[in-house]
Chains A and B, each alone.
Chain A
Amino acid sequence: EDQVTQSPEALRLQEGESSSLNCSYTVSGLRGLFWYRQDPGKGPEFLFTLYSAGEEKEKERLKATLTKKESFLHITAPKPEDSATYLCAVQDTDYGQNFVFGPGTRLSVLP
């Protein structure tokens, strides 16, 4: 059975204080790993897709990396508007295209 864990559960940063969020996964075969951002009461907003170990993608202050067992979302010099829950999801090659989500990391960036 696929498993996705995320750490930390919650993270408080000062504005400008860089950090990393972790997503560890167990799948039969990785079809893709996805990062989403979710604001309270809203739908998840797509950030990145990663498909193979060693892959990296960047967007503004965010950078996502992938290894064979985990992914990191690095946040450089965060701003208060980066505050949200960051969800990691995986697609398993054995189970079609549906996502298995991790529990998320609640990020708060204080001014």
Chain B
Amino acid sequence: AAGVIQSPRHLIKEKRETATLKCYPIPRHDTVYWYQQGPGQDPQFLISFYEKMQSDKGSIPDRFSAQQFSDYHSELNMSSLELGDSALYFCASSLASGLVEDIQYFGAGTRLSVL
């Protein structure tokens, strides 16, 4: 079965550079979530999109922005990178059908290292 695809898997950037992370949800899933997981920490919710519109916003810095495109893939854009942005970034997708079950399926993540 198709899973959530994230690219790139690894990314190395310098301070003050920009980075773009991509996420391709499971086919027919309409909701995408972005999480940040620092070393030894639990995933922290950043932002989510439902049907290409922002649906929820968590602890996402103003330097970050995201969007969901017409093909439902999503991109997380990160500018003016700081050392503290080094983390694993996960994308998850779900089918927000209004039914009780709305399981989020996670991708393998992008490991961002800011030097």
A residues with CB within 8 A of B: 32, 34, 36, 41-46, 49, 51, 87, 91, 95-104
Contacts and interface: CB of A to CB of B under 8 A. Distances in A.
Given A34-B103, A95-B56, A41 B111 contact: yes
Interface in B73-115: 88, 90, 92, 94, 96, 100-109, 111
A97 B90 contact: no
Contact of B106 (A44, A49, A95, A102): A44
Interface string B41-55: 111110010000001
Nearest to B108: A43
Nearest to B94: A97
B100 A51 contact: yes
B107 A43 contact: yes
A97 B48 contact: yes
A46 B48 contact: no
Contacts of B56: 95-98
Q: Is the interface of A mostly helix, strand, loop or mixed?
A: loop
B102 A104 contact: no
Contacts of A100: 45
A32 B102 contact: yes
A99 B102 contact: no
Contacts of B31: 97
Nearest to B106: A43
Contacts of A96: 48, 55-56
A49 B108 contact: no
A45 B106 contact: yes
B58 interface: yes
Interface string B15-57: 0000000000000000101010000011111001000000110
Which of A36, A98, A99, A103 has the most chain B CB atoms inside 10 A of its CB?
A98
Given A97-B31, A97-B104, 14 more contacts: A41-B88, A43-B4, A43-B90, A44-B43, A44-B90, A46-B105, A49-B101, A87-B42, A87-B43, A97-B56, A97-B96, A97-B102, A98-B56, A98-B58
